[in-house]
Amino acid sequence: MKKILITGAAGFLGSHLCDRFIKDGFHVIGMDNLITGRLNNIEHLFKLEQFEFYHHDVSKFIHIPGKLDYILHFASPASPIDYLKIPIQTLKVGSLGIHNCLGLAKAKGARLLIASTSEVYGDPSVHPQPEEYWGNVNPVGPRGVYDEAKRFQEAITMAYHTFHGLETRIVRIFNTYGPRMRLNDGRVLPAFIGQALRGEDLTIFGDGSQTRSFCYVDDLVEGIVRLLNSDYALPMNIGNPDEITISQFAEEIIKLTGTSQKVIYKDLPIDDPKQRRPEITKAREILNWEPKINREEGLKRTYAYFKKLSTAELIATEHNNFDKFIIK
Ligand code: UDP
């Protein structure tokens, strides 16, 4: 049985990856320090012999007994509100955390895949973003702690690949959504759906003309599995190129939820990218991958998950307000 370590296992993406690799017959070791991850996301796996969980911070030395075939490094805060609340941990997991994962991969002869991000492109001046674009990142802005950690993570991963001959893969993940997103993580989809469910107005930051391209989580997971199994070591974009403005997105959520609330406008956070759409020719050609689930279907599935949450959970997770974090 192949053995895989998934860091950030209790998070949104980590938990879906655990499910996928369990389904594919792997022995899965999930690791998480539970700062932003939640055990509810993986509690259904605890009864399985195929699954183990380590409550551990990957920024500290990692010890795994026995053999290990693969490592997926998905531990990291991953929303602007989290970077503002826990900037140092964000930097540490993307630097010390990856260094520990690389050392472990080298010691075990394991193949390592790291979660990188479209944030390496910053507020992009090239559109859509191909892998060759080097980006436009503000290192000292509020997103710098995440963007630069992820850029460093790519650099050190490539260095282990070229210098030590380690088998490495780098996925650049664009905006992804689906069940198990945290209602209060500040991201636009849980923000809008949470607001609709609580009967609040939907908060658009800026004038709503900024664009994003949303990928359903199952499509992303399929892309990651294909990349892991490929022999491609350079960064690979995985995302859905279907691009919309945030205003259009708010309209779609209003229609989906049937809320009678309206949209209200708030200040645009600093360094908020104006446009984002993945160029996915490489994924199409090398992995024979493209997204299959359109937004209508993906949003329906995601809404079904959020609707099941209790009123207590909805109130406890009131939408985070950026105002108190933003230095104007
Ligand atoms: N956004 C918004 N209202 C919210 C939360 C986010 O208009 O309540 C905007 C945000 O400013 C950004 C877009 O939605 O332009 C996507 O934000 P998210 O935090 O989901 O991801 P990212 O900016 O990292 O793509």
Measured from the CB, is residue 181 less than 6 Å from ligand 1? no
Report which ligand 1 atom has the smallest distance to the Cα of 189: 20
Q: Ligand 1 centroid to 296 CA: how many Å?
A: 19
Instruction: Give pLDDT, residue 237.
Output: 98
Q: Ligand 1 centroid to 100 CA: how many Å?
A: 31
Measured from the CB, is residue 205 less than 6 Å from ligand 1? yes
| Alpha helical stretches, state H, the chain | 12-23, 80-85, 87-92, 98-108, 144-164, 188-198, 217-229, 246-257, 281-287, 295-307, 311-316
CA–CA separation, 70 and 220 (whole Å): 18
Measured from the CB, is residue 80 less than 6 Å from ligand 1? yes
Measured from the CB, is residue 187 less than 6 Å from ligand 1? yes
Domain boundaries, the chain: 3-324
Instruction: Give pLDDT, residue 76.
Output: 97
- Kindly state the average pLDDT of the residues 221-242: 98
Residue at token pair 């949450």: 309
CATH 3.40.720.10 fits 3-324, yes or no: no
Q: What is the pLDDT of residues 144-185, one digit of tens each?
A: 999 999 999 999 999 999 999 999 999 999 999 999 999 888
Q: What is the pLDDT of residues 103-144, one digit of tens each?
A: 999 999 999 999 999 999 999 999 999 999 999 999 999 999
Report which ligand 1 atom has the smallest distance to the Cα of 80: 19
Q: Ligand 1 centroid to 276 CA: how many Å?
A: 12
